[in-house]
């Protein structure tokens, strides 16, 4: 079994930042919708989003912190 490689520094794409901002504003994104939009799985892998009890994607505290860093 091979471990998943993670680069030492994560640079989010413009689309990934836009997705995080949409989640921050309260837009509900469910998994089928995310797949349809080809949303990056890197956000989930890096811990910037997670799934809630209903299965919808939500932004984490580290995701909010990433948005703040990008806005500076």
- The tens place of each residue's pLDDT in the chain, 72 residues long, gives 667 666 677 788 888 888 889 889 988 887 777 777 767 788 888 899 998 888 888 999 999 998 887 655
Dihedral-angle region of residue 44 (phi above 0 means left; psi in -120 to 50 means alpha; beta otherwise): alpha
Predicted pLDDT of residue 71: 59
pLDDT of residue 65: 92
- CA distances (Å), 15 to each of 11, 19, 29, 43, 54, in order? 12, 6, 14, 11, 24
Q: CB-hemisphere CA count at 13 Å for 48? A: 24
How confident is the model at residue 39, as a pLDDT?
Answer: 75
To the nearest 10°, report the CA torsion of 33, 35, 40, 41. 110
Domains delineated in the chain: 14-71 (1.10.10.10)
pTM greater than the 0.85 cutoff: no
pLDDT at site 13: 85
């Amino acid at each position: 079994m091979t471990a998943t490689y993670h680069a030492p520094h994560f640079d989010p794409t413009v689309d990934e930042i836009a997705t995080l901002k949409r989640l921050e504003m309260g837009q509900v994104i469910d998994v089928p919708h995310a797949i349809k939009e080809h949303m990056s799985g890197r956000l989930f892998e890096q811990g910037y989003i997670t799934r809630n009890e209903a299965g919808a994607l939500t932004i984490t505290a580290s995701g909010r912190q990433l948005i703040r860093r990008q806005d500076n």
